[in-house]
Amino acid sequence: MPHLFNKTSKISTVISIVLIFLLLGALGFLIYWLPDVTESLINATDNLGNRAEITDLGRKWVLIDAYVMVGVAVVAVVLMFFILRAVLLERIFTIAATRLIGAVSLCCFLEGVLFAAIGVWFQLAFAAAIAACFVGLCLRVVKHVIEEATRIKSENDFTI
């Protein structure tokens, strides 16, 4: 039975890696269309946000913020690829792996700040900011758990 679990786990990890490459492709596609997407969101009519009051400078700020968000997302996705690579190589209980998880956590917090920055015009962005920070906090907890597990594993490796 453990052999079957190991095989299923590897298949799941490979599927996650494939999804990472699909997400990177989608982010690359989004970079091309980002000016049109942000303009459409700014011009959308609804009862949420203060987009009717947005100036030309505000429109540029939203576009720059969106590009930075996509850039941070690309960094986070690439870091997740390296985490999954560590899982495949069975090197998850290492200092490098915990640093990768910590870096993804920081990317989530940065995304939260970037979403909050456009909350003036898009009030729902505050909800996205809170969600991103929550995910960042969850990853910080996981990082600390894996860090402790790494320390315990290291001690056990020296015990005969």
pTM of the model: 0.87
Query: Which amino acid is present at 102?
Result: G
Q: What per-residue confidence (pLDDT) applies to 66? A: 97
Q: What band does 23 get if pLDDT is binned at 50, 70 and 90?
A: very high
> Is the predicted pLDDT of residue 9 greater than 90, yes or no?
no
Q: Which two tokens stand for residue 88?
A: 């495949």
Residues in the chain: 160
Q: What per-residue confidence (pLDDT) applies to 2? A: 54
pLDDT tens for each residue of 73-132: 999 999 999 999 999 998 989 999 999 999 999 999 999 999 999 998 888 999 999 999
- CA 55, 60, 64 angle in degrees (round to 5)? 145
What is the C-alpha to C-alpha distance for residues 121 and 159, in angstroms, rounded to an integer?
Answer: 58
